[in-house]
């Protein structure tokens, strides 16, 4: 198994070459189409980039989990925010859920095909009437003779239009609050599963987002992921990695936006001199560089904690809050230096700007992150 520093440069070079060849020429078309095509996910799987830290017996590379974060960062650095979110869900969230929680039979059923891209995945928690308040979800799973009957709906599900398998969060004991939540591995090809129209968003257009419906959907008994009633505990257990992935996206996007801005201000002139020569420009760029470096230091600290299985929900909340808010602020400052050109679709900085906004919303809003941090200090 690769250690945290072994062959990282080789992985990075491979990631860069792959994205240069397979994503750069096509990304604008994917944005217009509202989805990354299946063929690309299969190519990612063939290149070994979908299950980097998954065990080899299930088709993974058994490399350090930090390489997966590096992929997320590099995708984001190139301004491919939609692809980064879709990749984060499948490779950095759902695959670890299955590897950590599933039975041996469930792992064999799903993981090898998830590693190749043959099976794409999503995770469905949010509902029209319940966002971060998972204890109040309405989707129900009831035991029946055939297994489980799933009823309800989910909204804002990344990869929802494409997913072959969805981890669905459902109530199995409505009277038990958070302790009545369970997780299910839902095969989207079964009867009773349907999708609404793709949800149109202001950014991350290449990341397909959908509303999902479960109409008295019959699931086999072995669709239950882990233990009944333990869903909320599992979600809390896996959240640190999810928020590390969001942090990696934020870092990559900030680096990419800054690089674009540096190039622009050196070339653009005003009042007979380079924009880069103005003190305001230089100070803004210095502030952005300093913020990114501070963010990276805390990100690296959290990665080290995660490797040691010591990263807790408060660490994850601080990381997610600070890096995503910083992403929005720094990219806004970068766009400002482009003047009117920054507000045009012709300049890639505009995509960095609109793609950043959702980062403070999904995986737990900034307000929820503040509540988590406050509770850790003050108690409930």
Write out the DSSP string of 45-112: HHTT-SSTTS-GGGT-----HHHHHHHHHHHHHTT-HHHHHHHIIIIIIIHHHHHHHS-HHHHHHHHH
Domain CATH code at residue 142: 2.40.110.10
pLDDT at 106: 98
pLDDT at 9: 84
* 260 and 349 Cβ atoms separated by less than 8 Å: yes
Each residue's pLDDT tens digit, 268-304: 999 999 999 999 999 999 999 999 999 999 999 999 9
pLDDT at 302: 98
Asked if residue 108 is part of any domain, the answer here is: yes
In the chain, which stretches have pLDDT less than 70?
1-7, 131-132
* Structural domains of the chain, count: 3
Rounded to whole angstroms, the Cα distance separating 203 from 356 reads 8
Which residue do the tokens 């305001």 mark?
Answer: 280
Identify the sign of the CA torsion 344, 348, 350, 354: positive
pLDDT at 3: 45
Residue where a domain stops, chosen among 229, 255, 278: 229
pLDDT at 132: 66
Beta strand pairing call for 121-124 and 165-171: parallel
In 3D space, the residue among 58, 27, 26, 32 whose CA is nearest the CA of residue 45 turns out to be 58
Asked if residue 2 is part of any domain, the answer here is: no
pLDDT at 379: 81
Domain interval for residue 160: 122-229
pLDDT at 11: 87
Catalytic status, residue 242? yes
Rounded to whole angstroms, the Cα distance separating 317 from 375 reads 11
Residue where a domain stops, chosen among 229, 252, 283: 229
For the CA atoms of the chain, what is the radius of gyration? 21
Assess whether 92 and 186 both reside in one domain: no
- Choice among 242, 287, 325, 367 that is catalytic: 242
pLDDT at 6: 61
Domain CATH code at residue 89: 1.10.540.10
Both tokens assigned to 353: 């700007």
Assess whether 213 and 76 both reside in one domain: no
pLDDT at 276: 97
Residue 359 DSSP one-character state: G
Cβ neighbourhood burial of 263 (10 Å; 0-12, 13-18, 19+):
exposed
Rounded to whole angstroms, the Cα distance separating 162 from 33 reads 13
Assess whether 215 and 180 both reside in one domain: yes
pLDDT at 10: 85
Return the percentage of the chain with pLDDT > 70, whole number.
97
Residue where a domain stops, chosen among 119, 142, 163: 119
Assess whether 144 and 55 both reside in one domain: no
pLDDT at 1: 33
Asked if residue 1 is part of any domain, the answer here is: no
């Amino acid at each position: 198994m690769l250690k945290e520093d072994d062959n990282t440069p080789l992985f990075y070079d491979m990631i860069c070459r792959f994205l240069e060849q397979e994503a750069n020429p096509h990304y604008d078309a994917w944005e217009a189409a509202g989805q990354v095509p299946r063929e690309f996910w299969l190519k990612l799987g063939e290149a070994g980039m979908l299950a980097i830290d998954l065990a080899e017996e299930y088709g993974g590379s058994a490399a350090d989990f930090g390489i997966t974060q590096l992929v997320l960062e590099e995708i984001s650095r190139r301004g491919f925010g939609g692809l980064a979110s879709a990749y984060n869900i499948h490779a950095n969230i759902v695959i670890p859920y299955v590897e950590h929680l599933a039975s041996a039979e469930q792992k064999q059923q799903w993981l090898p095909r998830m590693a190749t891209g043959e099976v794409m995945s999503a995770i469905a928690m949010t509902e029209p009437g319940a966002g971060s308040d998972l204890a109040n979800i309405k989707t129900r799973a009831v035991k029946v003779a055939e297994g489980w009957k799933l009823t309800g709906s989910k909204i804002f599900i990344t990869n929802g239009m494409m997913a072959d398998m969805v981890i669905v969060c459902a109530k199995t004991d409505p009277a038990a609050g958070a302790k009545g939540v369970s997780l299910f591995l839902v095969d989207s090809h079964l009867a009773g599963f349907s999708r609404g129209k793709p949800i149109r968003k202001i950014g991350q257009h290449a990341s397909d987002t959908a509303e999902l419906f479960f109409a008295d959907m019959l699931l086999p008994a072995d669709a239950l992921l882990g233990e009944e009633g333990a869903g909320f505990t599992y979600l809390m257990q896996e959240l640190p990695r999810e928020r590390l992935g969001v942090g990696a996206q934020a870092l990559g996007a900030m680096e990419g936006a800054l690089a674009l801005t540096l190039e622009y201000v050196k070339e653009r002139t005003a009042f007979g001199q380079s924009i880069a020569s103005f003190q305001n420009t230089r100070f803004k760029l210095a502030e952005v560089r300093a913020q990114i470096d501070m963010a990276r230091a805390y990100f690296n600290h959290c990665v080290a904690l995660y490797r040691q299985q010591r990263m807790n929900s408060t660490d994850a909340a601080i990381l997610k809050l600070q890096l995503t808010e910083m992403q929005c602020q720094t990219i806004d400052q970068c766009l400002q230096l482009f003047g009117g050109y920054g507000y045009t679709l012709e300049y890639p900085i505009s995509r960095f700007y609109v793609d950043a906004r959702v980062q403070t919303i999904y995986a737990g809003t900034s307000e929820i992150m503040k509540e988590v941090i406050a509770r850790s200090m003050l108690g409930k």
